[in-house]
């Protein structure tokens, strides 16, 4: 069974631009969660999607948004990028919604210059 | 105060030593996860536990739900155990413990 796939792996963007990151969960998994990881803050929850609906949302500004498609693939978008958005963005795939066993992707390393 | 606190933040050990990483939480977590992250970013789920103890190879995780505390133990540590260990649950995680095992 293929694991969680995140694309792209690395990305460099300029302040003010927008970016879209993609996450393909494990086949059959319907829940995708997104996290931002920075050295100072650790893993911080962004949002959780299950069956194309956002079920939970973390404490991030509205510039951060996401969606999930009918095939469970998920995208997250960050608009008007700021230097502080530089981070590793990780998605996790679960069969069920909520606090269940999660499988993480390799992440997308975003650098904003 | 963070809802999930880990200690220590950094840990250096000699190969073969017994290692303990602690995790305390102040929120209701139905099941606690222990994650391992090697340099390069990828995260592996080590354990998910809601009571008692789980063992996988040289790794042991325990949890005390009443005290809201969990520990991760590594027996006979090895340089390949060098990684960041993260605990958490219900979408909230600690900042991680960076473990370095020297040969």
Which band of pLDDT confidence, cut at 50, 70 and 90, is reported for residue B30? confident
The beta-carbon neighbor of B45 closest among A42, A44, A103 is A103
pLDDT over threshold 80, residue A87: yes
- Whether cis (ω within 30° of 0) applies to the bond prior to A46 is no
Q: What is the pLDDT of residue A101?
A: 84
Q: Report yes or no: A88 at the B interface, CB cutoff 8 Å.
A: yes
Q: Report yes or no: B90 at the A interface, CB cutoff 8 Å.
A: yes
Q: What is the pLDDT of residue A1?
A: 62
- What integer best gives the mean pLDDT of chain B? 93
Q: Residue A36: its chain B contacts at CB < 8 A?
A: none
Place of tokens 């809201």: B68
How many C-alpha atoms does B100 have within 13 Å on its Cβ side?
Answer: 6
β-strands B10-14, B97-102: how paired? parallel
Over residues A12-46, the pLDDT tens digits come to: 999 999 999 999 999 999 999 999 999 888 899 99
Q: What is the pLDDT of residue A98?
A: 75
pLDDT over threshold 80, residue B102: yes
Q: Report yes or no: A102 at the B interface, CB cutoff 8 Å.
A: yes
- What integer best gives the mean pLDDT of chain A? 94
Q: What is the pLDDT of residue B84?
A: 96
Which band of pLDDT confidence, cut at 50, 70 and 90, is reported for residue A70? very high
- Per cent of chain B over pLDDT 70 is 98
How many C-beta atoms lie closer than 10 Å to residue B102's C-beta?
11
Nearest-Cα distance to chain A for B13, in Å, is 22
Which band of pLDDT confidence, cut at 50, 70 and 90, is reported for residue A65? very high
More confident residue, A9 or A98: A9
Q: What is the pLDDT of residue A42?
A: 87
Q: Residue B92: its chain A contacts at CB < 8 A?
A: 45
Contacts of A8 (CB under 8 A, 6+ apart): A21, A108
Burial of A57 (0-12, 13-18, 19+ CB in 10 A): middle
Nearest-Cα distance to chain B for A84, in Å, is 18
pLDDT over threshold 80, residue A2: no
Q: Residue A92: its chain B contacts at CB < 8 A?
A: 43
CA distance A55 to B64: 29
Going by C-alpha positions, the residue among B21, B13, B4, B6 that lies closest to residue B76 is B13
Nearest-Cα distance to chain A for B29, in Å, is 8
Per the structure block, which two tokens stand in for A1? 């069974």
pLDDT over threshold 70, residue B36: yes
Per the structure block, which two tokens stand in for A34? 């997104």
């Amino acid at each position: 069974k293929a694991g969680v796939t995140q694309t792209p792996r690395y990305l460099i963007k300029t302040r003010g631009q927008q970016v879209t990151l993609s996450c393909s969960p494990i086949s059959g998994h319907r829940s995708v969660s997104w996290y931002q990881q920075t050295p100072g803050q650790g893993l911080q929850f962004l949002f959780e999607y299950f069956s194309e609906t956002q079920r939970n949302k973390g404490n991030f500004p509205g510039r951060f948004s996401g969606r999930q498609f009918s095939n469970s693939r998920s995208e997250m978008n960050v608009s008007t990028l700021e230097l502080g958005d530089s981070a590793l963005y990780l998605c996790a795939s679960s069969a069920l919604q909520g606090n269940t066993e999660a499988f993480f992707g390799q992440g997308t390393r975003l650098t904003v210059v | 105060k963070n809802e999930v606190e880990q200690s220590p933040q950094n840990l250096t050990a000699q190969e073969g030593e017994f290692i303990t990483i602690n995790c305390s939480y102040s929120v209701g977590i139905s099941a606690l996860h222990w994650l391992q992250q090697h340099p390069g970013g990828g995260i592996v789920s080590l354990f998910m536990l809601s009571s008692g103890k789980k063992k996988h190879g040289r790794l042991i995780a325990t949890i005390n739900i009443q005290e809201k505390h969990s520990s991760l133990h590594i027996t006979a540590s090895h340089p390949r155990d060098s990684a960041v260990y993260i605990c958490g649950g219900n979408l909230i995680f600690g900042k991680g413990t960076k473990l370095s095992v020297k040969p």
